Structure 1
């Protein structure tokens, strides 16, 4: 099982966004950093997003990672629950009414891991596949 200390540090981030509803493919290249805070880790992503024909734009995200009761919880920046890291081969679910977000992680890669989000609902139909490679 992955621990917070396994994530701490700098990672190269490569993400492909397949938006079936809009018929657009996006790509993000950047960096993700997990750094300690008083309660666990803060994850900050920064990168350049190319999305369809739009001009490239800076994109960023920030999440809080916490170890609680033998599990790793991922929270939004404001402390709201997002999801709990699933066991290998399982998926976690986040309901953002009316859409459903399902995620799987693969930590079996040496020096890298993947995260794949499948987003479905009346407003969305997309797959976001990210690869994090340790720097």
Structure 2
């Protein structure tokens, strides 16, 4: 199976669990992620959902990223960037379970994607640092 950037386009149901080990708390987000075409090899990712974190009242949480594809020998990769264009990480689509790292001093982020049940997929983040220690599992399904 070979997944392409354009196959992410459209709307996805998003369910996320945050296991915060530092604060001994759990968060849950339920919402929608949308990938909108912004060019031949570019999608804009926007998510919005209701986040319940520990004992705090529910709140609306949002995130935005840019997903850029490539032509030629790197056509099996997606560069994920922050909304302002700074590099975040790379997804290697030639693997069903790609992973990558992002260093944001003093914190370290590791992501593992799982495309083995495509078109359902998930991203698992492990984040550690002086004030962070959590695992975040985001599951994406078509509505």
- TM-score > 0.5 by shorter chain: yes
Structure 1 distance, partners of 2:7, 2:98, is 20
Structure 1 distance, partners of 2:130, 2:4, is 35
* 2:42 counterpart (40, 43, 51): 40
Residue number in structure 1 paired with 2:82:
76
Structure 2 distance, partners of 1:88, 1:22, is 32
Residue number in structure 2 paired with 1:132:
140
The number of residues matched between the two structures is 135
Q: Could you say what the CA RMSD is over the residues aligned between the two structures, in angstroms?
A: 1.2
- Structure 1: state its 5+ residue gaps: none
- Paired residue secondary structure (1:102): strand
Q: TM-score, normalised by structure 1?
A: 0.95
Structure 2 distance, partners of 1:28, 1:128, is 10
Residue number in structure 2 paired with 1:50:
52
Task: Give CA deviations for 1:101-130 in whole Å, capped at 9, x if unaligned.
Answer: 000001121431010000012121000001
- Structure 2: state its 5+ residue gaps: none
Q: TM-score, normalised by structure 2?
A: 0.90
Q: Displacement, 1:90?
A: 3.9
* 1:66 counterpart (62, 68, 72): 68
Whether 1:100 and 2:102 are equivalent positions in the alignment is no
Structure 2 distance, partners of 1:42, 1:3, is 15
Structure 2 distance, partners of 1:111, 1:50, is 26
Structure 2 distance, partners of 1:36, 1:90, is 23
